[in-house]
Amino acid sequence: MIKKISHIAIVVPDLEEAMGFWVDTLGLRLQHVEYVPDQGVDVAFLPSGESEIELLEPVEPDSGVARYMHKRGPGIHHICFEVEDITAVLARMRAAGVPLINEEPTIGTGGKKIAFIHPRGTGGVLVELYELTAEEPARRLERLNDMRRRLQRGRRVYAAGIIAFLSGLRTAGNGQSEKKSAATKQRGSEV
């Protein structure tokens, strides 16, 4: 069963500039920002009802998302549906001859099971399936701790969300005064 639209992922050349539209003008709320090493992207999570808009900025030039943006330009990258039983949905896909990018679920951000369906099988839409797993909360904490360690090593992008997310601080004061960090802090009421 399909539970809901989990998120819509939009690839952008620059998170800071993109948030000028999606957060400052449209009015979505920035919840947090994180680096997703598997995809080589910095991701800004903007909740919208029960779903999220995810803005992806490719930070690794040879990643799939970077190649996508280079080829097709910025815009919508994929839709993700939360499903109850990803294995059952993938079995139906195989039975129907739908080409899959992941034949079996892989473990994504936070420990969830994910799989991508090839746009050839969907009529031109990259579709991600996502099943929440029991271990996801623990993995999320592990990931946040990992990001905090990276932040301590000084990487700019983590300043945006992590310090404030973990400590509740809303003011600058971590010695990183770059444009993106400061602006992101101002925006994210729950960052």
Distances (CA, A) of 118 to 94, 122, 128: 12, 7, 9
Q: By CB under 8 A, which span of 35-43, 86-94, 147-155, 177-185 interacts with its own copies?
A: 86-94
Q: By CB under 8 A, which span of 22-30, 99-107, 130-138, 167-175 interacts with its own copies?
A: 22-30
Token duo for residue 177: 């005064």
Specify the residue, 65 or 127, whose C-beta has the smaller distance to its own copies.
127
Contact with its own copies (CB under 8 A): which of 71, 96, 171, 179? 96
Nearest partner of 56 among 141, 126, 135, judged by Cα? 126
Specify the residue, 13 or 154, whose C-beta has the smaller distance to its own copies.
13
Contact assessment for residue 49 and residue 8, using Cβ atoms and an 8 Å cutoff: no
Distances (CA, A) of 37 to 48, 50, 62, 99, 168: 25, 25, 12, 25, 25
Label the pairing between strands 51-58 and 75-83: unpaired
Interactions with its own copies, residue window 113-152 (CB under 8 A): 119, 121-125, 127
Binding site for its own copies (CB under 8 A): 1-5, 8, 10, 12-13, 17-18, 20-22, 24-28, 48-51, 53, 73-76, 79, 81-83, 89, 92-93, 96, 98, 119, 121-125, 127
